[in-house]
Structures are given as structure tokens and as C-alpha cells.
Amino acid sequence: MELYQLTAEKLSAMLANKECTSEELTQSVLRRIEAKEPEIKAYLTVCAEEALKKAKEVDQKRAAGEKLHPLAGIPMGIKDNICTRGIKTTCASRILENFVPPYDAFVMEKLHAADAVILGKLNMDEFAMGSSTENSYFQKTRNPWNTEYVPGGSSGGSAASVAAGEAVVSLGSDTGGSIRQPSAYCGIVGLKPTYSSVSRYGLVAYASSLDQIGALGRSVKDVAMVYSAICGRDPHDATSAVREYPDFAAGITGNVKGLRIGIPKEYFGEGVAADVKEAVWKAAKALESAGATLVEVSLPSTDYALSAYYIIASAEASSNLARFDGVKYGYRTQNFSNLTEMYENTRSEGFGAEVKRRIMLGTYVLSSGYYDAYYKKAKFTQLRIQDEFNKAFEACDLLLTPTAPDTAFRIGEQVDDQVKMYMNDILTVTVNIAGLPGLSMPCGFDGKGLPVGCQLIGPKFSEQVLFDVASCWEQQNGGFDLAATLA
């Protein structure tokens, strides 16, 4: 057994018991990166030197008897839309190809304070727009279960690196499913936390009202450990909740007795693959046998969620991405003779097709004369979806659904069919629209041997319940089988 194969939970205990050092662990993961990266292509930047330096520092602190955070010395990867001081933060876009932020995101400050070891920056769909990580300007990340397949997206690098043992845990961001769907495709655990529980300061904005940073890991406890480390009030994010949070990892009981698990029928409709339905049902039944009750609930506006999501997200994106204009930082075209041309050519050359598509869509829906028909209606739909969730949570404590309608698809398979690509998000966007926490856990495999993801959705700030339920399933299932990918 190599150190890179172990969970953060196990490694944290080993480090504490001095069964291994962070330097040994970091070296193990760096060797794994070296070995697997040519195939997986999860990283855009690897900071081997800095990671080892940090690992040694942590080992010294531990040797000196300092009281350390559970994540101290654990090597992790960071999605490349989270600002890291002194380390390139590209959002997988040509327009930020050489952007080095002079500041850290709030979550990075938290991770540094916890003495986590930062391995590098992970590939993603450009500006987090996409469901396959194929929209990266730099490279296509492969699914560790089958490298012909996409790892999902937009946090494809975050999911693939963890599934391949190239990071123990990672940070991703989720605007419409960007943590949960790749977690499902790569057979790992991913949490999209309650909106406002993790500061967005330093997360390069895609859709401000929907974006949320979250954690990916190979066990429920690992994800809970990372979430505990990054959540909390940040005075620099006005939307950050004023709230105290418990130690989620320590609080996991795995007890589901008496919990009412809602099964929303709209999430098991025609478009969902039979293999997926079957695997998800298996998990539901296992939870039932562990003492939970299954109740059928209805979320009738689910059909409108995807349209509402693409309108709201694109509208905000068109404004958020306007700052990439070639004036201050990032890419600037060589080809211009006046200001307007500089803007037009910089943005035409600097952004990829999907980003341009969403900027145009967002610009259109906010235009005078169209605002009421699109943006306003979408915001109204958002309220309706929120109401329906609130109502559903009167009848149950959490919801259980598939994370995505199907398992991973082949690289290149869906790039020409945008609607099909957007359908990947149909079961996850509602969670962002309602600001709820959502967790994806692996629940088996399809006929092709690709992992299936099961999504748990709870009321705001119910992460502890989601961890308990996921942990119950994890224990029954005997942990998630990663032998195939970690070989």
C-alpha cells in the first residue's frame, strides 16, 4: 500500500502518530502525479517544490509538539479558478494564461492556516463553464476509470486527481453541478455546500449568486474534514453567513434511524439511464434497511430549472467576465488600431466557444426589452423552486436522487450537441438555484464499469445530515472501491 492511496482520515491519524511524515506522503503523491499525469492531465500547475517545503515545515512543527489541524500535512489540489497568491490562476482560459494573483482566496488562507500542503492547480472547463472539462484552453483531463471518457466538469481536474491518487483531497467549485457531476463520473465523494457557508472571496466568479466552493475526496469523512476547514464567516464576502460551524468530521455518526428520505419522482424520469436508476435505488434501499424511511415527494418545477439556471448563470457571467478586457491583466490581442478593436479582438481571441456562447446569451437576456421576458421570469422560477424545496422538506429530512442522468461519456461525444451537454446538469442545478447543500457519493457501476453517483440534497446548513447518511451508505458498502483507479 502506497501512502497516496490512503484517505485523509487515515493519513491524518498516521501523521499524528508519526507513522509517516508529511514529506514522505507528499513525495508519494508527487511521484504518483509524475506517473499518472501524462495519462490523466488533471493538473495545470504542479508546485512540487513549494509543496515539499510546506510538508517539511509541517513535519518540523509536529516534531516540535505543536497542536496541528487534522488537515496539516495532507497534500491537496486546488481548482484553477481559486486565487492562489504567487501561483498562476488561469481558470483554464487563454485570457488568464499568465495571471498570477497577488492575493489568496479566503479558502486558501484557511487552508494555509490549517497547514495543508498545496500540490498545484487543477484543470477545469474554462471559467467553470461546462460538464466535461473539454472546454479547457490547455488540455483535456481523462477519467481515471477509463481514459477514453471525460471526468465530468467543470471540476474535472479536481475529481480526476483525487480518483487517480494524484491528490488526497481537492477543492472544486459548483455553480450548477460542477463538483457533484465529476465526483459521480469519477466515483468519489463531492460536496457542494450551502450557499453562503464558504466564502467566495478569491473564487473567480462565474455566476455569483450560484457559485460555491466545495470539497472532493475518496471518503465522506475526508470531504467533511475539508469542508470544516474552509467554511465560516468572511467579512470580505457580503453574502457569507454569520454563523458558527461544528467539526463536521468529528460529528459524523452514520446513524440514519428515523430519517425520512424523500425520493422526488421528477428526478427518476425518462432521461435517466436504467443502470443509474438501479444503482441509486440500491443505495436508497440500503439506507432504508439501516433505519431510514423512504417517502415519495414531488418537485413539479424541476423541468424549468435548467432554463432558469442557464438564464441566471449566463446573465451574471456576462457581467462577471466583462472585466477580462485586455486593459489591466491577462491576454491582450496584438491586433488592434483602436480601443473598440482591442476589446473585441482580445475577447474574441481570449475566450473559448462555450464562454462566448454564455456571454452572448447572458448579454441578450439582460438587454432592455428582454430583461422581463427572461431574467425576471428566471428569478421568479427560482423563487418557485425554492418554495417547492421548502415544502418537500416538510415531508422529509433530505432528498435522494441520481447525481447525473447517466455515467461518463466519451471524450468528444457531446461537444457538438450543446443541449445534450447541458442535460448533464439537469439533476444538479436545482440545488444551486435554491442555495442548498448537495453531496454526490458513489453508489455502484454501470454496465461499462463506470461509476454511478447518488445525490443527497438537504435543507440549508444540513451538511451534517448529508455526511451522516453518506457515511452510513459508505460503511454498508465497505468504503468506495478505488482499487481499479488507484492501481
- Kindly tell me which residue out of 6, 96, 404, 466 binds another protein, with binding defined by CB under 8 A: 96
**363 belongs to the binding site for another protein (CB under 8 A):** yes
Q: Which stretch binds another protein (CB under 8 A): 83-91, 177-185, 264-272, 436-444?
A: 83-91
Provide the mask over 333-352, with x wherever binding to another protein is found by CB under 8 A and - wherever it is not.
------x---x---------
- Kindly tell me which residue out of 54, 180, 200, 221 binds another protein, with binding defined by CB under 8 A: 200
- Kindly tell me which residue out of 63, 113, 274, 322 binds another protein, with binding defined by CB under 8 A: 322
**86 belongs to the binding site for another protein (CB under 8 A):** no
For residues 69 and 114, the answer to whether their CB atoms sit within 8 Å is: yes
d(CA 66, CA 56): 14
**83 belongs to the binding site for another protein (CB under 8 A):** yes
**318 belongs to the binding site for another protein (CB under 8 A):** yes
Q: Which stretch binds another protein (CB under 8 A): 43-51, 68-76, 175-183, 363-371?
A: 363-371
- Kindly tell me which residue out of 111, 116, 315, 452 binds another protein, with binding defined by CB under 8 A: 315
Residue of 36, 41, 79, 110 with catalytic role: 79
Phi-psi region of 64 (alpha: psi -120 to 50; beta: other; left: phi over 0): alpha
Number of amino acids touching another protein (CB under 8 A)? 44
- Kindly tell me which residue out of 13, 19, 66, 235 binds another protein, with binding defined by CB under 8 A: 235
- Cβ-Cβ contacts under 8 Å for 311 (sequence gap 6 or more): 361, 365, 374, 375, 377, 378
**487 belongs to the binding site for another protein (CB under 8 A):** no
> What residues pair up with 455 in beta bridges, in sequence order?
401, 440
Confirm whether 178 is a catalytic residue.
yes
- Kindly tell me which residue out of 138, 329, 445, 461 binds another protein, with binding defined by CB under 8 A: 329
Q: Under DSSP, is residue 275 helix (H, G, I), strand (E, B) or coil?
A: helix
Q: Which of 137, 140, 154 is nearest to 324 (CA)?
A: 137
Pairing of strands 43-46, 75-79: unpaired
Confirm whether 10 is a catalytic residue.
no
For residues 80 and 124, the answer to whether their CB atoms sit within 8 Å is: yes
What is the DSSP code string of 403-462? SSSSS--BTTSSTT-HHHHHHTTTTTHHHHHHT--EEEEEEEE-TTS-EEEEEEE-STT-
Q: Which stretch binds another protein (CB under 8 A): 216-224, 235-243, 380-388, 463-471?
A: 235-243
Residue 124 CB, shortest distance to another protein, in Å, is 14
Cβ distance to another protein smaller for residue 217 or 232: 232
Cβ distance to another protein smaller for residue 196 or 401: 196
Confirm whether 140 is a catalytic residue.
no
d(CA 87, CA 277): 42
HSE of 3, CA atoms in CB hemisphere, 13 A: 22
Residue 339 CB, shortest distance to another protein, in Å, is 7
Provide the mask over 365-384, with x wherever binding to another protein is found by CB under 8 A and - wherever it is not.
-xxx--x---x---------
C-alpha cell of 238? Answer: 457580503
Cis peptide before 183 (omega within 30 of 0): no
- Kindly tell me which residue out of 204, 215, 452, 486 binds another protein, with binding defined by CB under 8 A: 204
Cβ distance to another protein smaller for residue 126 or 316: 316
Cβ distance to another protein smaller for residue 239 or 253: 239
d(CA 57, CA 23): 9
C-alpha cell of 75? Answer: 497534500
Residue 49 CB, shortest distance to another protein, in Å, is 25
- Cβ-Cβ contacts under 8 Å for 338 (sequence gap 6 or more): none
Residue 64: other Cβ atoms inside 10 A: 7
Residues at the interface with another protein (CB under 8 A)? 81-83, 89, 91, 96, 99, 101-103, 105, 200-205, 207-209, 235-239, 315-316, 318-319, 322-325, 327-329, 339, 343, 363, 366-368, 371, 375
Among all residues, which ones are annotated catalytic?
79, 154, 178
